[in-house]
Structure 1
């Protein structure tokens, strides 16, 4: 679990985050949504420890980040997995090499132990025969699965995903969503996803945080978002034609 209490973050005169308080549950897919400039990326970087808020606190399973020593912060960061928007794979490394990289950098495991772990996570993301292939030789969806395998290879307690469906076709995006949710539940991870994808909101939004102009405008579940009368939320989510259709079906079922 990650608990956020009244955090503020500024860059010079630009006050980006304005007193956000929320909680991200363990074992659930927690989504952050909002328009460009709403503060989503800065908020995610605060959660990752890349930015430190000027006010407020962030607590990871009882550990207040600002109270930790440098060594304790380093240890905490090793409990975090990250799936970047563009996958961020190393072009010069094979799939196996990309996934093994964190183990080589941050553990003292034997080669056999690392190989066993890499084989396990690649199998878990349904990439059994891709070990020796390079990122340029696989599809965008496969690259995302490699990125997820690399993010979970260290058995993280916290998984962060920045626009994991960016650049993917709708069918592949659904597969990636389902994989992230399965892994979250299977390993009881606290997963936080920055997204613009309304399919993700509908399918895996067990907790949704909507930011606007640096404020927490609304939070709830993918069931509750259909019922909200918050204009900022409805203006944002119902810009999606698919979301309009789904909401209409929901309202018709209720009637």
Structure 2
């Protein structure tokens, strides 16, 4: 579990995060959503320890990040997996070498042990024969699966995903969503996803935090979001006619 209490973050005179408090549960897909400028990217970077913050706290399974020693912070970072928006694979490395990179950084495993682990996670993301390919030879969906394999290769307790479906077609996006949810459940990871994709919200949003102007405007699940009367949420989520129809059908079926 990740617990956030009264988090504030500013850049100069710009107050970006304004007292956010929430929890992200273990074994669930936790989504952060909101319009551009709502603070969700800054929030994610604070969770990752990339940004300091002026007030509040972030605790990872009871360990408050700001109170950890340098060595303890390094150990915590070894327990974090990250899927970047653009996959962020190293062009000069093979897919297998990309996947093994966190093992080289954070473990003392032998080369054969790292190769075995990379082989295991590549099979887990349905890429059993991609080891020797270069990232440039892989499609966008394949690159995203490689990024997920790299993120879980070190058996992380926490998995962060920044717009994992960015640039993907709808069918591939569903594949990636399902894969993230399966891995989260299978390994009981605390997964936090920064997303603008409403399909993801409706498919895998076990916990949803909606930010507006740096505040936590609403939180709930993919089921409760259908029933909320919060105007900011409904105007954001149901801006398209398709989702308006989906919501209407859901409410009619669950009266």
Which of structure 1's runs of 4+ aligned residues deviate more than 2 A? none
67-76 or 204-213, larger mean C-alpha shift = 67-76
Q: Which residue of 1 aligns with 2:193?
A: 193
Q: Which residue of 2 aligns with 1:228?
A: 228
**Cα drift, residue 241 of structure 1:** 3.2
Q: Which residue of 1 aligns with 2:167?
A: 167
Q: Which residue of 1 aligns with 2:89?
A: 89
In 1: Cα distance, 2:21 partner to 2:105 partner = 34
In 2: Cα distance, 1:6 partner to 1:221 partner = 21
Q: Which residue of 2 aligns with 1:105?
A: 105
When the two structures are superposed, what TM-score results if normalisation uses the length of structure 2? 0.99
Post-superposition Cα deviations, 1:136-160, rounded to whole Å, max 9, x if no partner, equal 1111000000000000001100000
Q: Which residue of 2 aligns with 1:5?
A: 5
Q: Tell me, what secondary structure is at the counterpart of 2:66? A: helix
In 2: Cα distance, 1:103 partner to 1:240 partner = 43
Post-superposition Cα deviations, 1:186-237, rounded to whole Å, max 9, x if no partner, equal 0000000000000100000000000000000000000000000000000100
**Cα drift, residue 252 of structure 1:** 2.2
Unaligned runs of 5+ in 1: none
**Cα drift, residue 52 of structure 1:** 1.7
Please tell me whether residue 22 in structure 1 is matched to residue 4 in structure 2.
no
In 1: Cα distance, 2:205 partner to 2:239 partner = 18
**Cα drift, residue 92 of structure 1:** 1.1
Please tell me whether residue 39 in structure 1 is matched to residue 46 in structure 2.
no
In 2: Cα distance, 1:93 partner to 1:29 partner = 30
Post-superposition Cα deviations, 1:90-149, rounded to whole Å, max 9, x if no partner, equal 111111010011111221101111011000000000000111111111110000000000
In 2: Cα distance, 1:242 partner to 1:92 partner = 42
Please tell me whether residue 246 in structure 1 is matched to residue 246 in structure 2.
yes
Cα RMSD between the aligned structures? 0.8
**Aligned 1:43-82 pairs, distance under 5 A:** 43-82=43-82
In 2: Cα distance, 1:188 partner to 1:147 partner = 19
Length, aligned pairs only: 255
Post-superposition Cα deviations, 1:143-184, rounded to whole Å, max 9, x if no partner, equal 000000000001100000000000000000000000000000
Contact 1:21 1:216 in 2 (8 A): yes
204-213 or 66-75, larger mean C-alpha shift = 66-75
In 1: Cα distance, 2:241 partner to 2:81 partner = 33
In 1: Cα distance, 2:182 partner to 2:245 partner = 27
In 1: Cα distance, 2:47 partner to 2:241 partner = 32
Q: Which residue of 2 aligns with 1:213?
A: 213
Unaligned runs of 5+ in 2: none
Post-superposition Cα deviations, 1:53-79, rounded to whole Å, max 9, x if no partner, equal 110100000101111011111111111
